[in-house]
Amino acid sequence: MQRVCLALPTMRACPGTIVDLAEEAAYAVETFGAEVHLLVLDTTEGAEFAKNADAVAALVPAPGVFVHHLGNAAQRAFFLDVARRSGGADPELLLDLMLPQDVAYGSCVNRIFLGAAALGCTSAHLRNDDFDYQVVDGAKMFPIHHELLSLGKPAGEALAGVARSELDPADAEKPVMLVSAAFMGELNVDIGEINELDPEVYRDLVRLWTPRVWTLEQQDEMVDVSFKGAEPDSFDPADSVLGVPDIWDVYMCNVAIDHRGYEVLPLVPSLRTIGADYALLHALVHAKLPAVIHKRHIVNYYTPERRIGAGFVSYQLRFVKMLLSMLYLYPVYGQMIDLGTGLLDERHELRVEPILGLVRSTVDLDRDVNETCLDEVDRLYRKLGGKYAELADVVAGQRQQLLDEAREDTLRWVALIENWAPMVAAARERGLAG
């Protein structure tokens, strides 16, 4: 029986999402006969944690569905034990890479990956705490339908479960390591208000996350598609295509990954940085591994706390950190493209050594580009005025810290990659209980 991990990392009260995911888990059992472990890794405290715990406790037990809700204390105990069992020289550092005090999107997904390994799962199916399912004739359109049809199978076998194929016959023996769809609704990065205030400022700001070596025309083409997801009329619960996807068709908010991917390469454990959770997806796509792209798009929505007061400032600082992170990530992604299938071993699985070498090579890049980036961010925020001018003051006050953190995040990633294989083995040996 296939054992899979349907996962929700959350830092807010989201009882409705937990109920929805339990329904998706039950659907997977009923439709595919899978054993589904619903893993909720919850970093809330107090009343918010209690709301999530109450939602878990109220779930109607379903055969084949096993629910695990871990708060901060349980996660700390688990990941510290895994770090110690792994034989790493500095278990406290490894714990910080997995469960830092600050927001770290990559770290929360890495915790899912080790949790899935501890549960003996062969795949991780990732969802967010700020989405809804599409509904057709009263039925929720669960992405896990397409995910379990194809994920982990040799591509030649997965042909039977897709509507269309662009598969190169030479790739038939390669495993399907990735299944993804998009989202609809609000931008997946909350900067739409900037576009409403001043479209030119928005364009100039988003250009800052495009590769600097690109022409202005190429940058503008990327701006036009960035953060927007799928058009509403593209939703089709039955459509799916097998082949090597474009990276723009893969979204971390609606994705399933085979364990032979995430057990090799962890995500970037960047602190307070949006977009740090895409590195593994780049590796799988640029290695030209087959994937299935379907159209059971989810609906993205915003939670209100990141639009006002301290929540607004914190979220926008994560966006600024994303811009700075690209100095270190784009060279890695570009060289992944150059290596292509050279990223794979004889079993068509990722090799970590070349990727680790690429990451190490970026640590000491000249950061003049990031100095210029922050100058431009300051100019654009001040042009918007109001709360954005106040935000510019905050960014200016943290300028050196932001520059240093962007580089340190790369060092953190190097350390985690170096220790990842023994941590995965330790998690698998330990199990999640106890």
321-353 pLDDT, tens digit each: 999 999 999 999 999 999 999 999 999 999 999
Confidence of residue 185 (pLDDT cuts 50, 70, 90): confident
- CB count within 10 Å of CB 90 equals 12
Q: pLDDT (tens digit, 9 = 90+) per residue, 367-413?
A: 999 999 999 999 999 999 999 999 999 999 999 999 999 999 999 99
Please give the model's pTM, rounded to 2 decimal places: 0.96
Tokens 């339990």, located at residue = 22
What SS3 state is found at 89? Answer: coil
From 133-137, 302-306, 334-338, 401-405, the region with the lowest mean pLDDT = 302-306
What single-letter amino acid sits at 256?
A
Distance CA 345, CA 123 (A): 20
pLDDT at 356: 98
Distance CA 20, CA 35 (A): 17
Q: Is the confidence at residue 306, as pLDDT, over 70? A: no
Distance CA 339, CA 211 (A): 19
What percent of the chain lies above the pLDDT cut of 70?
98
Confidence of residue 14 (pLDDT cuts 50, 70, 90): very high
Cβ-based neighbours of 184, under 8 Å, separated by 6 or more: 134, 229, 230, 231, 232, 235, 297, 298, 299, 300
Phi, psi of 69 (to 5 degrees): -120, 110
Distance CA 126, CA 277 (A): 12
pLDDT at 233: 84
Q: pLDDT (tens digit, 9 = 90+) per residue, 60-99?
A: 999 999 999 999 999 999 999 999 999 999 999 999 999 9
Alpha-helical runs (H) found in 102-253: 105-118, 144-150, 155-158, 192-197, 199-207, 216-225
Confidence of residue 177 (pLDDT cuts 50, 70, 90): very high
Confidence of residue 249 (pLDDT cuts 50, 70, 90): very high
Q: pLDDT (tens digit, 9 = 90+) per residue, 221-233?
A: 999 988 888 888 8
List, in sequence order, every residue forming a beta bridge with 243; answer none if it has no partner.
291
Structure tokens at 225: 């598609």
pLDDT at 229: 85
Q: Are strands 131-132 and 164-165 parallel, antiparallel or unpaired?
A: unpaired
pLDDT at 250: 94
Distances in Å between the alpha carbon of 316 and those of 190, 307, 310, 388?
8, 9, 10, 9
Cα pseudo-dihedral 433, 105, 328, 87, rounded to 10: -20
pLDDT at 434: 57
Do residues 118 and 428 touch, judged by C-beta distance below 8 A? yes
End-to-end Cα distance, the chain: 24
